[in-house]
Amino acid sequence: MDSNNPLETPAGQEQGQAAVSSGSDQGSSPIDPKNVQQSSVSPQNNDQLNNNSKERERITVPSACVPCRSKHLKCDGLSPCTRCSSNGFECLYVRSRRGFKGPRKIGLQGKASSIPIPGAPQACPLITPPTATSRAPSNVPTGLPTPPDHHLLSGNTDLQIFEVNPDLATYSPRPLSSGLDLRERCIEAFFYHFWPTHPFMLPRANFMALRRERPVDQLEAAMRYVGSCYVSQAPTTALEAEAERSVYNADYVNDAFRVQAMLILAIGLDGNTQQEKALQILTDAEDIALDIGMNKRSFAFLNSNGSPVLEESWRRTYWELFLIDGMIAGVHQKSFFRMKDVIADVLLPCEECEYISGVIPQARSVGDFEDESFDGKDFSFSSYAYRLAAIRNLGRILTVKLSGAPLDSPAVHRLDAHLVNWRLHLPEPKRTCISKDGVLDEMLFQAHMITAATTVQLHRELSELDSSVAKDVTSCAPHKEIVPGESYNVHAAKTVQAAQDISKLIAIPVPLLKHTHFFTCVVTLGSIVHLSCWSLLMPLTHDDDLRQQLRLNTGALKTLWQVWPSAGRAFRQVKGVAQDIFAAKKQLVENGYWPTLTDEDVMQNMIQDQSILDELQIPE
């Protein structure tokens, strides 16, 4: 497989990016052939011809260097090989027969020997799909199960956060041009990894055209910062400081581009455990957006310069502000979703594939969406629109909670009707997050994610599920005390079902790092429910389903930790609670509180529980 680190996506490689931005991945944008030469730094034409000639002549090579072999990448056999030369790696050849022959059993060779890889014995087995029949899109990489601190590794290590698993993906980007500097690689990483999860900025091709026409320093600074989270050698801390200085630079006017830059920065900071700073920057971005009138329908048209794509981008920017404000209020529970009370008549976004192609259909209004079931009009709405509907349902619940009114059972049932109706009225093509050809619809994924988390938030207070066991899980939100009860009521049933739905989202056969970092807090919320249930079960009962869901959740947090430190905090806290519960159960058994169980039952269940804790361990 001829591939480089997918975190450092090639720029200006028309075929490589086209694979990312084709119909098989709606999140990335296609490269306009006109932009290829300007958007990349490439060798001279003669060098390209010579290299192409060498590639045609080189059919097989007798051996591969250690760096290429350790990542199961195709090596051209030169000394040094082209890949090591272009990336500045130490190119070494040794006599070895240890290639990829099935599940990986050893770590990376040489300087990276301590980095765990997928399939290693300590890895969580549920991170990798069990069979090759459920394939992800052909252009998506998978991630390592155990998160090392890739920003602390030396440049020569070239930690590949996304490891290509042949049973899951066949992504094979072209080698990165040696002339592409690190800052530009961060821009490319932004478009490849982050843009599909929050697609409000211009698609890549349109952005590259824009940056040739006018300076977009604020946007570029914010994009480099977020993109650096996916590039192992990038100085993320320095780029963060640069982005923050840029978005608050008084020399720039308060326009929609500044709003976009601040929104990108706020999302990135939130994923990097800087929740308070992220909220402040988001609030400042909202102030500017409302001051310049982005909540008005006319704004997008009047500021588009006749470009339908730019007009669509302004609509998406306003709605993304709305969404992120709601997500932060929902998962952190420290703000009040200010944007839900703003009067706005901005039209709804289109599908991402339409946005990328530049063929923008007639936009529909929120009123059209709400009246869909009654007016008899045959409109179709985008996945983004259903994502907005999901966050508006969250806003309804937060409104009641913040009003101080008692959240009694009748009030909960009225609010629950909105959540149930959201599911019931999904069109058939929107009922699953994966298309028939295996492509992830990230907007629809987030819509289901938001709905499941909202259901937990709504019913958990009346569920009587004891929350005290998870009082130390506060990485995303403060602990919420739930008074335990003796009966299993309908609210408990809905809470548990929503937590199970979150675990099902984890199992969707696409790399977890393709999702928004806000999934971290949703997984943590589901984990709190699972832990509460597990603590209530008597020791050594048949709780295998619950334990498997805990495995899924902790494995997901490990993987998300590859890029987002917030997931690392959540993982440590969930791990600590799981260990405490296990220790308490073990103590009860050792003290003989459950004498009716056979020795075989005791041994089997203790082995299964211990296996969970083994997977929760982090190498020192």
Per-residue pLDDT reduced to its tens digit, 509-558 = 999 999 999 999 999 999 999 999 888 775 555 577 888 899 999 999 99
Considering only 22-36, 237-251, 320-334, 603-617, which range has the smallest mean pLDDT? 22-36
pLDDT, residue 592, reads: 54
Burial call 176-215: b when 16+ CB within 10 Å, e when fewer: bbeebeebbbbbbbbbbbbbbbbbbbbbbbbbbbbbeeee
Tokens of 57: 């002549």
Tokens of 73: 């990448």
pLDDT, residue 39, reads: 36
pLDDT, residue 413, reads: 87
The band of 68, judged by pLDDT with boundaries at 50, 70 and 90, is: confident
Mean predicted lDDT score pLDDT of the chain = 76
pLDDT, residue 79, reads: 76
Amino acid at residue number 17: Q
Q: How many CB atoms lie within 10 A of CB 518?
A: 27
Do residues 433 and 441 touch, judged by C-beta distance below 8 A?
Answer: yes
Q: Is the dihedral of CA 120, 126, 130, 133 positive or negative?
A: negative
Do residues 171 and 140 touch, judged by C-beta distance below 8 A?
Answer: yes
Mean pLDDT of 380-396: 96
Mean pLDDT of 90-109: 47
pLDDT, residue 467, reads: 79
- Whether the per-residue pLDDT at 100 is higher than 90: the answer is no
pLDDT, residue 579, reads: 85
Q: Of the spans 378-382, 498-502, 575-579, which averages the highest pLDDT?
A: 498-502
pLDDT tens-place string over residues 156-193: 323 232 232 333 233 333 333 444 699 999 999 999 99
pLDDT, residue 485, reads: 62
- Whether the per-residue pLDDT at 265 is higher than 80: the answer is yes
Percent of the chain with pLDDT over 90: 49
Q: What angle do CA 255, 259, 262 make, to 5 degrees?
A: 135
pLDDT tens-place string over residues 104-162: 433 333 333 332 333 333 332 222 233 333 333 333 333 333 333 333 223 332 323 22
What are the residues whose beta carbons fall under 8 Å from the beta carbon of 56, sequence distance 6 or more? none
User: Whole-angstrom Cα distance, residue 444 to residue 383?
Assistant: 5
**Strand 162-163, strand 142-143: pairing:** antiparallel
The band of 239, judged by pLDDT with boundaries at 50, 70 and 90, is: very high
Percent of the chain with pLDDT over 70: 65
Query: For 264-268, which contacts have Cβ atoms below 8 Å and span 24 or more sequence positions?
Result: 264/194, 264/198, 264/201, 264/219, 264/222, 264/223, 264/225, 264/226, 265/222, 265/225, 265/226, 266/324, 267/198, 267/226, 267/324, 267/517, 268/222, 268/225, 268/226, 268/229, 268/240, 268/243
User: Whole-angstrom Cα distance, residue 176 to residue 363?
Assistant: 39
Q: What angle do CA 96, 99, 102 make, to 5 degrees?
A: 145
pLDDT, residue 513, reads: 94
- Whether the per-residue pLDDT at 74 is higher than 70: the answer is yes
- Whether the per-residue pLDDT at 35 is higher than 60: the answer is no
- Whether the per-residue pLDDT at 70 is higher than 80: the answer is no
Closest CA to 282 of 334, 322, 245, 225: 322
The band of 372, judged by pLDDT with boundaries at 50, 70 and 90, is: confident
The band of 617, judged by pLDDT with boundaries at 50, 70 and 90, is: low
Distance from the Cα of residue 495 to its chain's centroid: 23
pLDDT, residue 109, reads: 36
pLDDT, residue 481, reads: 77
What are the residues whose beta carbons fall under 8 Å from the beta carbon of 101, sequence distance 6 or more? none
Amino acid at residue number 239: L
User: Whole-angstrom Cα distance, residue 115 to residue 594?
Assistant: 42
pLDDT, residue 69, reads: 67
Q: What pTM was estimated for this model as a whole? A: 0.70
Query: What is the rounded end-to-end Cα distance, in angstroms, of the chain?
Result: 32
Tokens of 419: 């959540």
Do residues 295 and 346 touch, judged by C-beta distance below 8 A?
Answer: yes
pLDDT, residue 12, reads: 38
pLDDT, residue 546, reads: 86
Amino acid at residue number 599: D
- Whether the per-residue pLDDT at 91 is higher than 80: the answer is no
pLDDT, residue 540, reads: 52
Cis peptide before 80 (omega within 30 of 0): yes
Q: Which residue has the higher pLDDT, 407 or 202?
A: 202
pLDDT, residue 82, reads: 76
Token look-up 């890549």 returns 204
Q: Of the spans 92-96, 347-351, 431-435, 460-464, which averages the highest pLDDT?
A: 347-351
- Whether the per-residue pLDDT at 214 is higher than 70: the answer is yes
User: Whole-angstrom Cα distance, residue 265 to residue 277?
Assistant: 10
The band of 376, judged by pLDDT with boundaries at 50, 70 and 90, is: low
Q: What is the CA radius of gyration of the chain?
A: 25
pLDDT, residue 486, reads: 59
- Whether the per-residue pLDDT at 435 is higher than 70: the answer is yes
CA within 13 Å, CB half, 16: 21
- Whether the per-residue pLDDT at 412 is higher than 60: the answer is yes
